[in-house]
Amino acid sequence: MRSDKIKKGIESAPHRSLLRATGVIRTPGDFDRPFIGVANSFTELIPGHVHLRQLAERVKAAIRQAGGVPFEFNTIGVDDGIAMGHQGMRYSLASRELIADSIETVVQAHQLDGLVCISSCDKIVPGMVMGAVRVNIPTIFLAGGPMENGRLPSGEAVDLISVFEGVGKRLNNEIDDAALEQLETYSCPSCGSCAGMFTANSMNCLLEALGLALPGNGTILATDPRREELASRVGQRIVRLVEENLRPSDLLSPDAFRNALALDMALGGSTNTILHTLAIAHEAGIPLEMQVVNQLAARVPYLCKVSPATPRVHMADVDAAGGVSAILRELSRLEGVIAPETPTVTGQTLGENVAGARIRDEGVIRPLEHPFAPQGGLVVLFGNLAPEGGVVKVGAVVPGMLVHEGPARIFESEAAALEGIARGTIQPGDVVVIRYEGPKGGPGMPEMLAPTSAIMGMGLGDKVALITDGRFSGGTRGACVGHVSPEAAERGPIAILRNGDRIRIDIPNRRLDVLLPEMEIARRFAELPPFEPRIKSGFLARYQQQVTSASRGAILKNPWS
């Protein structure tokens, strides 16, 4: 075992002495057992993570019962919803790298044999995956589970996006303070990751398709007793996984990534999943290009429409309808889309995992014969404004905005855009442009849920488009194109736009263009001043120096490659 380096032989007597002092070693026989790290992202700042202590205890008890020795340690976490709309959001994506580094550091420093990653929200999930792939020891993921959706006294289903959009309605005087407070009070009723198909739940569903999590990981609610049962199965299974030496490198193949992206298309997941999947593939040493997304989107129908694409359906409904397994089994009927023979942490193939699944509610998960749309819920646009691509959640775009042409309304930051929206400067037909908010320019590529929600709340969602080199929350809906690459800070074409320029968004033809002559574009590039960083000290300054484009997953540069 790897851990023999810290527990076997005369030279390891000091190590054993320190390990005894932890209280985790209960008998001398524990030194003959595999040492399993339990990476817990518990924090009292994030509703998706406040209950993870209890899940960790279930995991650790099961590890001991199965013959392993569990050692719990922690990672940091950022709540994107709380960090939204201020300086804190610049730390969200950047925290992914810190989390990956912390997993690598603890596992390698203590030569652990196996790993359970207990995560739930946003950047914490991919950060843990990236770290686990890097150290490449047997690993299983366990999510905290989705939040229950809220209900107003009227019975109307609500979630966090209802609150963000409620702010826009209040700014537009469509509701009063009391109605906004009611939304605030009832929309987030329990622990768990936010109730719709936002980034956290999208990623936790994708882990099932990647083969890194047990079935049910993505959809069983945080408050459902089955979540604790799942935690016990994870603890039992990781010990067997160590015995089998089944590692992430044995599971993550090109087929596994295609399985995950196909599921993403069928779910209409968060645009952030593309960013994180690219980053995870890079860690795994597997080439993955943005064009693959469009190839799959053309073949995979949109089978499961969940909030924010529709306000009535939430993760609880998806779970009751059959969950991820039912969707994957349905997709396996499409020749060449799902590779059922890919291995998973269960010890069975993906096809075997989902063989007994079925759709229990066709109003939530549609069969192939009656999809919500014939093509997938995410696509990548290319053009003279996005030579390296920009991502749009097409499943959450109203049909009338699939093709839109209008004048650019330029904002140099998210804060400026929010101020402009609140002042009523946005007019029907506009294309709002928020730039210098990419991985380098932000820095940290902040999410734009506040401005997109304000636009929707003010009744402009079917009249106004938005493009940005920043990101969108998984809760964003509307004609919103994010991840526009290269970003403005890297002298991408979005940097040369001016107010009034005609921008054309053509989602069916996967195009994003500014209607300017090539000579004018070249002249503006020649006049473009150098990028001036907003932050010049601390972690974000270092991150800004090392981070790459969104089209590469916003990974950090390797100075030796």
CA distances from 487 to 97, 169, 182, 505, 509 (A): 20, 31, 39, 17, 22
Q: Which long-range contacts (CB under 8 A, 24 or more apart) does 89-92 make?
A: 89/414, 89/444, 89/446, 89/447, 90/442, 90/443, 90/444, 90/446, 90/535, 90/540, 91/444, 91/539, 91/540, 92/122, 92/123, 92/444, 92/446, 92/447
**Rounded Cα distance, 356 and 412, in Å:** 52
The one-letter amino acid code at 73 reads F
**Rounded Cα distance, 400 and 122, in Å:** 30
Q: Which long-range contacts (CB under 8 A, 24 or more apart) does 223-228 make?
A: 223/145, 223/148, 223/190, 223/191, 223/192, 224/145, 224/319, 227/55, 227/144, 227/145, 228/54, 228/55, 228/58
**Rounded Cα distance, 365 and 266, in Å:** 9
Per the CB < 8 A criterion, the answer to whether 461 and 444 are in contact is no
Per the CB < 8 A criterion, the answer to whether 435 and 469 are in contact is yes
What residues contact residue 17 under an 8 Å CB cut-off, 6+ apart? none
**Rounded Cα distance, 28 and 14, in Å:** 15
Per the CB < 8 A criterion, the answer to whether 130 and 248 are in contact is no
Whether 485 is catalytic is no
Q: How far is CA 504 from the centre of its chain?
A: 28
Cα angle, residue 493 at apex, residues 490 and 495 outer, rounded to 5°: 65
Active-site residue, from 120, 453, 473, 549? 473
What residues contact residue 45 under an 8 Å CB cut-off, 6+ apart? 77, 79, 82
Per the CB < 8 A criterion, the answer to whether 70 and 144 are in contact is no
Phi and psi torsions of 92, nearest 5°: -65, -65
Per the CB < 8 A criterion, the answer to whether 407 and 502 are in contact is yes
Residues with a known catalytic role: 473
